[in-house]
């Protein structure tokens, strides 16, 4: 008997579910860097066929979260110091542009919204609420993307952030970095609210340089001694 074909919409839904599942496992470190991915095992975990899992992994390969190595198969990506430097080089250029555009485009109502989010971020830092800080940080940057009206840039930056997500989680958990980040965001906010594109771009660049330097230091001092230069 011929295999019954799933409706196209259902097949795509399963691909989307498999994509979100595998991606979450990678970003939460349930699938470790360098771990081989078995389509059959993932399909069994999810209770679906291998076909949508295969398509999901292809999407993750295109996003840089999964790599293929001859003789080893499909592996969870391994980040290197060189990768980290390149990611931040791109982020620095793009996010400075976003901040400048946000300062040029913002309305008074949007300036007030940015100040409200900034206040939430400052309150979360003062109380040591890491989850609250991360939520405010996400809202903050989503508002900047909206003000800048650059959806393709947002997509690129989101993908880059996902590639160093696990390092960010470890870094934000450090109380000193959270406090520094709040002060850096405050300078970006002040420039945007004042309608100063050059000042906003400079403040954002300074923030990203600071974050990059802290991350590199963290990687060199904490990660590399235990896992090597690829982590």
Rounded mean pLDDT of 121-144?
Answer: 94
User: Which residue segment(s) compose the domain that 52 sits in?
Assistant: 8-76
Last residue of a domain, one of 76, 92, 121: 76
Q: Are residues 88 and 67 in the same domain?
A: no
Rounded mean pLDDT of 72-85?
Answer: 88
Residue 2 lies in a domain: no
Answer whether 115's CB lies under 8 Å from 189's CB. yes
Q: Are residues 60 and 162 in the same domain?
A: no
Residue 56 lies in a domain: yes
Specify the pLDDT at position 8: 60
CATH of the domain at 47: 1.10.10.10
pLDDT digits (tens, 9 = 90+) for 190-229: 999 999 999 999 999 999 999 999 888 877 775 554 445 5
Q: Are residues 45 and 148 in the same domain?
A: no
Last residue of a domain, one of 53, 76, 99: 76
Residue 3 lies in a domain: no
Q: Are residues 192 and 212 in the same domain?
A: yes
Whether residue 231 is predicted with pLDDT greater than 80 in this model: the reply is no
Between 130 and 89, where is the model more confident? 89
Residue 72 lies in a domain: yes
Q: Decide: helix, strand or coil at residue 200.
A: helix
Query: How many Å apart are CA 119 and CA 139, to the nearest integer?
Result: 12
CATH of the domain at 169: 1.20.120.530
Q: Are residues 148 and 211 in the same domain?
A: yes
Between 229 and 100, where is the model more confident? 100
Whether residue 2 is predicted with pLDDT greater than 80 in this model: the reply is no
Q: Decide: helix, strand or coil at residue 85.
A: helix
Whether residue 180 is predicted with pLDDT greater than 50 in this model: the reply is yes
Specify the pLDDT at position 227: 44
Q: Are residues 111 and 223 in the same domain?
A: yes
What is the pTM (predicted TM-score) of this model?
0.76
Q: CA-based angle 160:223:153, to the nearest 5?
A: 10
Q: Are residues 87 and 116 in the same domain?
A: yes
Q: Are residues 58 and 89 in the same domain?
A: no
Specify the pLDDT at position 194: 97
- With 0-12 CB in 10 A as exposed, 13-18 as middle and 19+ as buried, what is 87? buried
Residue 1 lies in a domain: no
User: Which residues have C-beta within 8 Å of that of residue 92, sequence separation ≥ 6?
Assistant: 205, 208, 209, 212
Q: Decide: helix, strand or coil at residue 156.
A: helix
Whether residue 154 is predicted with pLDDT greater than 50 in this model: the reply is yes
Specify the pLDDT at position 1: 41
Using 50, 70 and 90 to split pLDDT, how confident is the model at 27? Answer: confident
Residue 219 lies in a domain: yes
Rounded mean pLDDT of 181-194?
Answer: 97
Query: How many Å apart are CA 95 and CA 103, to the nearest integer?
Result: 12
Q: Are residues 56 and 98 in the same domain?
A: no
Specify the pLDDT at position 225: 42
Q: Are residues 66 and 158 in the same domain?
A: no
Between 144 and 170, where is the model more confident? 144
Q: Are residues 124 and 106 in the same domain?
A: yes
């Amino acid at each position: 008997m011929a295999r019954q074909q799933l409706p196209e919409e259902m097949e795509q839904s399963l691909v989307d579910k498999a994509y979100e599942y595998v991606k979450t496992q990678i970003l939460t470190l349930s699938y470790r860097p360098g771990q081989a991915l078995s389509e059959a095992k993932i399909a069994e975990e999810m209770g679906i066929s291998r076909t949508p899992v295969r398509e999901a992994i292809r999407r993750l390969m295109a996003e840089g979260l999964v790599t293929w190595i001859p003789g080893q198969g499909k592996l969870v990506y391994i980040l290197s110091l060189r990768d980290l430097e390149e990611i931040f080089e791109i982020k620095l250029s793009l996010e400075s542009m976003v901040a400048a555009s946000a300062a040029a485009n913002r309305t008074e109502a949007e300036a007030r919204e940015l100040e409200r989010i900034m206040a939430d971020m400052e309150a979360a830092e003062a109380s040591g609420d890491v989850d609250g800080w991360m939520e405010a940080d996400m809202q903050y940057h989503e508002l900047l993307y909206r003000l800048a009206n650059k959806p393709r840039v947002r997509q690129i930056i989101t993908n880059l952030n996902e590639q160093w997500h696990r390092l960010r989680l470890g870094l934000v958990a450090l109380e000193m970095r959270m406090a520094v980040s709040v002060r850096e965001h405050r300078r970006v906010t002040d420039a945007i609210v004042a309608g100063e594109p050059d000042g906003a771009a400079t403040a954002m660049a300074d923030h990203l340089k600071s974050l990059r330097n802290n991350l590199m230091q963290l990687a060199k001092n904490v990660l590399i001694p235990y896992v090597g230069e690829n982590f």
